[in-house]
Amino acid sequence: MTPIAPHITAYLRERLPLERGASPHTCDSYAHTFRLLFDFAASRFKVTPSKLQMEQLDAPLVMDFLVDLESTRGNSAKTRNARLAAIKSFMRYLEHREPALLEQSLRIQAIPSKKTDTALISFLSPSEMEAVLNSPDVNTRIGIRDRAMLHVGFAAGLRVSELTGLLLSNVTLQPTPTVCVIGKGRKQRALPLWKQAAADLRAWMAVRGDLAVPELFVNARDQAITRSGFAFVLKQHVQAAAEKCPGLKDKRVSPHVLRHTCAMVLFRATGDLRKVSLWLGHEQMQTTEIYLRADPMEKIEAIEGVTPMRLKRGRFSVPDQLIASLQGRP
């Protein structure tokens, strides 16, 4: 029998962060997947998670775990697929460390992902985005921080983990205001800021103070702001902005919606998906194509470019038998 603990520890502490360069967010997500899996298996075999053996995590158990995610926990097919991807990655890692588990690994890797619906992305209109950015009270330190944080997140199209992970050392204000972002897969990209976003960032850096933490954005206790902290700040300002912009009341504005909004602004300004892809840090152009599907202007231009067919006009004539039946005639 093969104990799980040494392998999962090496995978989460060495393989993911050091060898694959996974972000802390990815490592946390994978760790949560295995915590759920081990709790499920421990309940199934009536043992503590520390007593589980790798041979017990076979394909049937993994499939039952995936069913439980959707039926009991209410997870979506997309979340289910993400959990499965984490498990498959771990099993591929084990193939070289424990060759005896090869067949078990192959069976698990053969479990198919579920097809998911490709929904249109949600993004804000220019007036809605402007209302959100104007919501913070820039006469206060927290308000100045919020304006800068919202504006940089939107203008640079950052993932929430990229925004909260920005360091002071990642910011260059001269000669061109730029932020250096470390994205997925530890890939770096430098993003210039437009004039107003740079002005808001300068205002925040002027009142931020000399703090012990290296992160650019901090909370009220001068500690690095968290993902949930930023989500809370955004929610507050969306609610305030909705008073002046009623269209926001029916919208669920998550941190990722700011990223989508930036992408739509860039795409409509340039019409070039390649530039949008580079700006967002996408590895594949297919990922960026969601913004092409979301833009109604692309469809309108396509319709306007179609030459209408010349169709002969006709007139519907009611059959005599139908008229006779309605009038009660034989």
Phi, psi of 3 (to 5 degrees): -65, 145
Which residues on adjacent β-strands are paired with residue 178?
172, 192
Residues 32-42, mean pLDDT to the nearest whole number: 95
136 with 285, same domain?
Answer: yes
Residues 247-265, mean pLDDT to the nearest whole number: 91
The tally of CA atoms less than 13 A away on the side-chain side of residue 161 is 13
Domain span holding position 141:
126-303
182 with 272, same domain?
Answer: yes
Q: What is the pLDDT of residues 3-15, one digit of tens each?
A: 999 999 999 999 9
Beta-carbon contacts of residue 184 (< 8 Å; ≥ 6 apart): 23, 26, 159, 281, 283
Cα 329 to Cα 270: distance, rounded to the nearest angstrom: 68
Judged against a pLDDT cut of 70, whether residue 311 lies above it is answered with no
- Whether residue 145 lies inside any domain: the answer is yes
Which of these is catalytic: 15, 145, 260, 282?
Answer: 282
Q: How do beta strands 178-182 and 171-172 pair?
A: antiparallel
92 with 17, same domain?
Answer: yes
Judged against a pLDDT cut of 70, whether residue 76 lies above it is answered with yes
Judged against a pLDDT cut of 80, whether residue 29 lies above it is answered with yes
Which of 211, 229, 267 lies closest to 153, judged by CA?
Answer: 229
Judged against a pLDDT cut of 90, whether residue 310 lies above it is answered with no
158 with 230, same domain?
Answer: yes
- Whether residue 243 lies inside any domain: the answer is yes
**Which of 21-25, 76-80, 115-119, 297-301: highest mean pLDDT?**
76-80
Three-state DSSP state, 175 = coil
Which region among 25-39, 64-78, 287-301 has the lowest average model confidence (pLDDT)?
287-301
Which of 21, 116, 28 lies closest to 70, judged by CA?
Answer: 116
- Whether residue 119 lies inside any domain: the answer is no
Q: Which residue has the higher pLDDT, 81 or 25?
A: 81
Judged against a pLDDT cut of 90, whether residue 272 lies above it is answered with no
- Whether residue 115 lies inside any domain: the answer is no
282 is catalytic: yes
Query: Average pLDDT of the chain?
Result: 87
Instruction: Decide which of 109, 143, 165 is a domain's last residue.
Output: 109
51 with 171, same domain?
Answer: no
Q: Which residue has the higher pLDDT, 250 or 283?
A: 250
- Whether residue 308 lies inside any domain: the answer is no
CATH of the domain at 176: 1.10.443.10
Which of 57, 214, 62 lies closest to 49, judged by CA?
Answer: 57
Under the banding of pLDDT at 50, 70 and 90, the label for residue 302 is very low
Judged against a pLDDT cut of 80, whether residue 69 lies above it is answered with yes
DSSP 8-state secondary structure symbol assigned to residue 326:
H
- Whether residue 163 lies inside any domain: the answer is yes
Give the other-Cβ count within 10 Å of 209's Cβ. Answer: 9
Which of these is catalytic: 184, 189, 268, 275?
Answer: 184
Q: How many domains does the chain have?
A: 2
Residue written as tokens 């993932």?
159
184 is catalytic: yes
17 with 66, same domain?
Answer: yes
Which of these is catalytic: 11, 30, 93, 291?
Answer: 291
Judged against a pLDDT cut of 50, whether residue 303 lies above it is answered with no
289 with 207, same domain?
Answer: yes
94 with 142, same domain?
Answer: no
237 with 137, same domain?
Answer: yes
CA distances from 221 to 90, 195, 208, 225, 323 (A): 38, 29, 12, 9, 83
What's the pLDDT at 315? 58
55 with 105, same domain?
Answer: yes
96 with 23, same domain?
Answer: yes
Judged against a pLDDT cut of 70, whether residue 289 lies above it is answered with yes
Which string of DSSP letters, residue by residue, matches 213-276?
A: S-BSSB-TTSSBPPHHHHHHHHHHHHHHHTTT-GGGGG----HHHHHHHHHHHHHHHH--HHHH
Which of these is catalytic: 227, 256, 268, 275?
Answer: 256
Under the banding of pLDDT at 50, 70 and 90, the label for residue 321 is low
The amino acid that residue 306 corresponds to is: V
88 with 148, same domain?
Answer: no
- Whether residue 319 lies inside any domain: the answer is no
- Whether residue 323 lies inside any domain: the answer is no
Which region among 111-120, 211-220, 268-277, 284-293 has the lowest average model confidence (pLDDT)?
284-293
